[in-house]
């Protein structure tokens, strides 16, 4: 076959062309490298300059648009967007309003809304992310409409996160929960983050009660996945949602066969200072519930010393460790239990007790 | 006799010609896939996500950083200081002194005020006997385990048993993580429950300026030997691993910097004691997940950066490459079930096949070409014009692949800012074919012949200043 190729009258002509093309391509690549580097360096300098200008203008001037050149390239839009987002993050009131006004005056919001419909999914992701950080209420309908038409789950997750930053009340929360249940489950942290954003937003608006209402509604709603309910409870814990407290006990009672929900309830209740479920949770057959309880047991464990000491022999390493540490923080009764375990025959319990005693001494 | 000669001439021509075509085509395709992946990544990896992770009260997963250290006295203090300065909300650093015969433990004890600790280790994965456990009086998140020498894999296993968090990051003691590297790599675990392992890019520290454990000035090393390694790393990570990533066939996450889900690593019984423990672990993770029908992802991300010291003498470089090649052969042999097995899907047909046919058999074919082509030409059995054209084409194609890797790097990441450094890298892309490649080929062939050796070879480090 090679003879057929090499004996072809035009073989060396073709190979010669290939060599020349490769040589030319290499030279082109080097030239492109240098040109692109210079271009990006220039563009970055311009971007930094615009970001600085925009931040200063928004903070110091009543009509910042008069002091700034309107954006014309993608880099300039990105510079203004980043600058405005950080102003919106740091300021409230008049300055935040001026920053939001600039989004309209310069058509930045419109620009990213257009990009959010572009053909490449990663460009849509980026545009939705940027729109989300503006936290503009007028984007709510746009996001909802976008979500309906969006084919990519990657973009949908970002839209839902964007919506979580602008929730108004229990109705919006219900919609969020349905949207999340309609999507393939992503990660606990993602869902927790969505509800955390929502609680923070409601707290800032003085509408924390709405979260309690929402939790009550979804407790027995089969359309909302159990995992979503669990993450909602965890968000309650992270955002210290006081209004959810009465419902946490109801959730605990309503989901006896769901250890992850029980653990989330125990953690969230303890965070709000309610330890009434701890004794029961410490004896729960599932280690996740016991672990959630033991991590908070030191806060109220004078009465629970025997239960906690029993966990020093638990098959789970984390439980043994946390039980020992809880006893070390539990005053003289806890220390006495640790000393007894350290001198006992159970090697695992003895090792962990010795460690906890050392920690207690430190 | 004439028939045998005819056969050998044809066999040589076909083998060399098609191997050359296949290998260069694979590299070119990988670059195309990598370019697509890097463009996407540029849009998705924004600073907003990292900011949220840093400022969020709980939008992160705590990470245990495991540093295996064997005779790392010259670099260990600077490395640990750099790790303690990472931007991350919650992490612990576990240094495992793997039977060092130098002053590694003494330096750690002195510099970080280590005190003996009684914290029991879990018994999840096997490792050699632990001689002592220490915690720092100054840094609550720093633990040191002193153990009998058992190799890097064994040391990481001990670190896994000592770790408290569900995700662990293994990092070499002579490496420095960029302050946001852990944020960028662990962020992926927040966004994808199927992710079980990820790794960032390894860059060459030689030539750079380091202040307080951070790389402050990035410069190409002065010697060509070290600068050539910069080119190799850039090519291997940005075109190679990014390309394999796009094909869902990543077979290796560098031992110098990888982040793993602990439960999955424990499920495959931790690291196996071998010189190629990083590739072996990834192959076993692929096998485990495929066999148990566990949905999983193993990803390479190009922007978390880990700076590492590359060998600065030819001897050290040859020893390192010899070890890498032996490690690869051992991993392939141990996981030979994955070779062309439909049960393992793309990981088998693309990833494992590449390592088998290109990385393992490649040096043999290349050597065959280096010997047979001049011999055939000498005896007048090969057309001179054809040979010259073929060599010219091979070198220019290779140079093009090298420069493309530099283009990928400067397109988005732009670590080397000086024009002189970029031009030098491009020139080295051509210079690589004048000796360096052949030396590496010889070393890989030697490794192929001695693949049963499990010796790591002494490693020489420079003090990080």
ipTM: 0.83
pLDDT at B458: 64
For residues A156-179, average pLDDT: 92
Q: Which residue of A has its CA nearest to B166?
A: A318
The pLDDT value given to residue B48: 59
Mention every residue, 6+ apart, whose C-beta is less than 8 A from residue A106: A65, A68, A70, A71, A80
The residues in A 317-346 lying below 8 A from B, measured between CB atoms, are: 317, 321
Q: What pLDDT shows up at residue B239?
A: 86
**Regarding beta strands B195-204 and B297-308, do their DSSP bridges make them parallel or antiparallel, or are they unpaired?**
parallel
Q: Give the model's pLDDT for residue B214.
A: 83
pLDDT of residue A361: 62
- A 48-107 residues with CB below 8 A of B? 85
pLDDT value at residue B39: 85
- CB within 8 A of B262, min separation 6: which ones? B64, B160, B163, B165, B166, B167, B168
Which residues from B are below 8 Å from A186, CB to CB? 191-193
- At residue A276, the pLDDT reads 86
SS3 per residue for chain B: CHHHHHHHHHHHHHHHHHHHHHHHHHHHHHHHHHHHHHHHHHHHCCHHHHHHHHHCCCCCCCEEEEEEECCCCCCHHHHHHHHHCCCCCCEEEEEEEECCCCCHHHHHHHHCCEEECCCCCCCCCCCCCEEEEEEECCCCCEEEEEECCCCHHHHHHHHHHHCCCCEEEEECCCEEECCCHHHHHHHHHHHCCCEEEEEEEEEECCCCEEECCEEEECCCCCCHHHHHHHHHHHHHHHHHHHHHHHCCCCCCCCCCEEEEEHHHHHHCCCCCCCCCHHHHHHHHHHHHHHHCCCCCEEEEEEEEEEEECCCCCHHHHHHHHHHHHHHHHHHHHHCHHHCCCHHHHHHHHHHHHHHHHHHHCHHHHHHHHHHHHHHHHHCCCCCHHHHHHHHHHHHHHHHHHHHHHHHHHHHHCCCCCCHHHHHHHHHHHHHCCCCHHHHHHHHHHHHHHCCCCCCCCCCCCCCCC
Mean residue pLDDT across chain B: 89
Report the gap between the CA of B351 and the closest CA in chain A (Å).
26
pLDDT per residue over B129-178, tens digit each? 999 999 999 999 999 999 999 999 999 999 999 999 999 999 999 899 99
Q: Residue B95's pLDDT is what?
A: 97
Cβ-contact B287, B344 below 8 angstroms: yes
pLDDT tens, residue by residue, A264-312? 999 888 888 888 888 889 889 999 999 999 988 877 755 788 888 888 9
Task: Report CB contact under 8 Å: A29, B403.
Answer: yes
| Beta strands at B209-211 and B195-204: parallel, antiparallel or unpaired | unpaired
The pLDDT-based confidence of A93 (bands split at 50, 70, 90) is confident
CA distance B427 to B402: 10
- The predicted-structure confidence for A305-336, as pLDDT tens digits, reads as follows 888 888 898 888 889 999 998 888 888 888 89
Residue B266 has what pLDDT?
96
**A/B interface, count of CB pairs below 8 Å:** 113
pLDDT value for B306? 93
Pick from B392, B396, B426: CB nearest A30:
B426
Q: Distance (Å) from the C-alpha of residue A172 to the closest C-alpha of chain B?
A: 22
Name the residue of chain B whose CA is nearest to A350's CA. B120
Residue B392: closest C-alpha in chain A: A19
pLDDT of res. B461: 64
Question: Is the per-residue pLDDT at A262 higher than 80?
Answer: yes
Contacts of B189 in chain A (CB under 8 A): 187
Q: What is the block-wise mean pLDDT of chain B (465 residues), using blocks of 10 residues?
A: 74 79 90 88 67 65 95 90 89 96 94 91 92 93 95 96 95 90 89 92 92 87 95 92 89 94 96 92 96 94 90 93 94 94 92 93 88 82 79 91 92 84 94 92 93 70 61
Domains and CATH numbers, chain B: 32-353 (3.90.550.10)
Dist. CA B269–CA B277, nearest whole Å: 13
Class of the A301-362 domain? Answer: mainly alpha
Contact B122 A317 (CB under 8 A): yes
Which pLDDT score is estimated for B168?
96
Give bridge partners of residue B210 from the DSSP assignment.
B215
Predicted local distance difference test score (pLDDT) of residue A316 = 87
pTM here?
Answer: 0.87
State the CB neighbour count (10 A cutoff) for residue B44.
Answer: 17
Residue B44 pLDDT: 77
pLDDT at A1 over 60: no
Average model confidence (pLDDT) across chain A = 88
How many angstroms separate the CA of residue B437 from the nearest CA in chain A? 20
Looking at the complex, report in whole angstroms how far the Cα of residue A85 sits from the nearest Cα belonging to chain B. 10
d(C-alpha A291, C-alpha A287), whole Å: 6
Q: Does A15 touch chain B (CB under 8 A)?
A: yes
Residues of B with Cβ-Cβ distance to A124 under 8 angstroms = none
b/e string for A20-50 if b means 16 or more Cβ within 10 A?
A: eebeebbeebbeebeeebeebeebeeebeeb
């Amino acid at each position: 076959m090679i003879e057929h190729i090499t004996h072809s009258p035009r073989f060396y002509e073709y190979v010669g062309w290939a060599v020349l093309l490769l040589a030319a391509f290499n030279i082109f690549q080097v030239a492109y490298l240098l040109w692109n580097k210079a271009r990006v360096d220039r563009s970055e300098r311009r971007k930094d300059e615009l970001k600085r200008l925009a931040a200063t203008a928004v903070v110091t001037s009543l009509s910042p648009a008069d002091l700034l050149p309107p954006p014309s390239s993608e880099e300039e839009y990105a510079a203004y967007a980043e600058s405005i987002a950080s102003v919106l993050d740091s300021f409230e009131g008049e300055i935040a309003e001026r920053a939001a006004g600039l989004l309209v005056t310069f058509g930045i919001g419109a620009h990213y809304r257009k990009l959010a419909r572009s053909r490449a999914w990663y460009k849509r992701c980026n545009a939705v992310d940027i729109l989300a950080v503006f936290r503009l209420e007028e984007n709510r309908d746009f996001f909802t409409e976008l979500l309906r038409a969006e084919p990519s789950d990657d973009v949908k997750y970002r839209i839902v996160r964007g919506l979580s930053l602008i929730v108004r009340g229990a109705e919006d929360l219900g919609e969020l929960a349905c949207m999340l249940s309609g999507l393939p489950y992503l990660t606990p942290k993602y869902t927790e983050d969505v509800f955390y954003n929502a609680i923070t937003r409601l707290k800032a608006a003085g509408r924390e009660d709405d979260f309690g209402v929402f939790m009550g509604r979804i407790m027995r709603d089969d359309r909302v996945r159990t995992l979503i309910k669990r993450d909602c409870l965890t968000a309650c814990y992270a955002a210290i949602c006081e209004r959810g407290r009465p419902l946490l006990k109801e959730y605990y009672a309503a989901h006896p066969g769901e250890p992850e929900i029980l653990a989330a309830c125990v953690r969230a209740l303890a965070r709000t200072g309610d330890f009434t479920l701890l004794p029961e949770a410490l004896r729960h057959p599932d280690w996740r519930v016991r672990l959630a309880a033991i991590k908070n047991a030191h806060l109220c464990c004078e009465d629970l010393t025997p239960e906690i000491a029993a966990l020093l022999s638990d098959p789970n390493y984390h439980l043994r460790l946390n039980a020992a540490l809880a006893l070390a923080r539990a005053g003289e009764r806890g220390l006495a239990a640790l000393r007894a375990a350290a001198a006992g025959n159970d090697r695992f319990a003895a090792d962990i007790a010795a460690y906890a005693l050392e920690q207690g001494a430190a | 006799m004439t028939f045998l000669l005819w056969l050998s001439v044809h066999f040589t021509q076909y083998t060399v010609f098609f191997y050359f075509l296949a290998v260069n085509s694979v590299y070119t395709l990988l670059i195309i896939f990598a370019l697509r992946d890097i463009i996407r990544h540029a849009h998705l990896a924004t600073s907003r996500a990292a900011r949220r992770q840093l400022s969020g009260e709980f939008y992160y997963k705590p990470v245990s950083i495991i540093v295996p250290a064997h005779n790392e006295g010259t670099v260990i203090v600077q490395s640990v200081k750099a790790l303690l300065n990472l931007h991350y909300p919650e992490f612990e650093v576990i240094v495992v002194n793997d039977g060092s015969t130098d002053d590694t433990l003494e330096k750690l004890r002195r510099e970080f005020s280590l005190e003996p600790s009684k914290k029991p280790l879990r018994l999840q994965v096997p490792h050699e006997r632990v001689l002592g456990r220490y915690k720092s009086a100054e840094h609550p998140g720093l633990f040191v385990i002193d153990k009998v020498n058992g190799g890097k894999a064994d040391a990481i296993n001990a670190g896994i048993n000592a770790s408290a968090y569900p995700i662990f990051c293994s990092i070499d003691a002579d490496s420095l993580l960029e302050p946001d590297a852990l944020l960028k790599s662990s962020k992926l675990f927040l966004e994808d429950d199927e992710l079980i392992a990820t790794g960032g890019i390894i860059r060459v520290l030689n030539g750079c300026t380091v202040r307080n454990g951070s790389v402050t000035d990035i410069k190409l090393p002065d010697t060509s030997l070290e600068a050539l390694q910069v080119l190799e790393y850039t090519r291997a990570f940005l075109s190679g691993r990014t390309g394999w990533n796009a094909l869902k066939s990543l077979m290796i996450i560098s031992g110098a910097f990888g982040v793993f889900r602990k439960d999955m690593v424990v499920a495959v019984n931790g690291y196996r004691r071998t010189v190629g423990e990083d590739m072996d672990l990834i192959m076993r993770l692929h096998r485990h997940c495929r066999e148990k029908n566990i949905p999983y992802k193993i990803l390479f991300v190009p922007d978390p950066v880990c700076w590492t010291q590359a060998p600065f003498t030819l001897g050290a470089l040859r020893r390192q490459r010899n070890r890498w090649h032996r490690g690869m052969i051992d991993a392939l042999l141990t996981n030979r079930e994955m070779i062309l097995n439909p049960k393992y899907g793309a990981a088998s047909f693309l990833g494992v096949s590449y390592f088998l046919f290109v990385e393992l058999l490649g040096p043999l074919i290349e050597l065959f070409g280096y010997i047979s082509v001049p011999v055939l030409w000498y005896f007048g059995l090969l057309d001179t014009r054809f040979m010259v054209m073929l060599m010219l084409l091979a070198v220019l194609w290779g140079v093009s692949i090298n420069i493309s890797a530099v283009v990928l790097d400067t397109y988005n990441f732009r670590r080397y800012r000086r024009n002189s450094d970029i031009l030098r890298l491009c020139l080295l892309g051509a210079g690589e074919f004048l000796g360096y490649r052949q030396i590496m080929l010889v070393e890989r062939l030697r490794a192929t012949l001695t693949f049963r050796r499990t010796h790591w070879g002494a490693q020489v480090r420079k003090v990080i200043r």
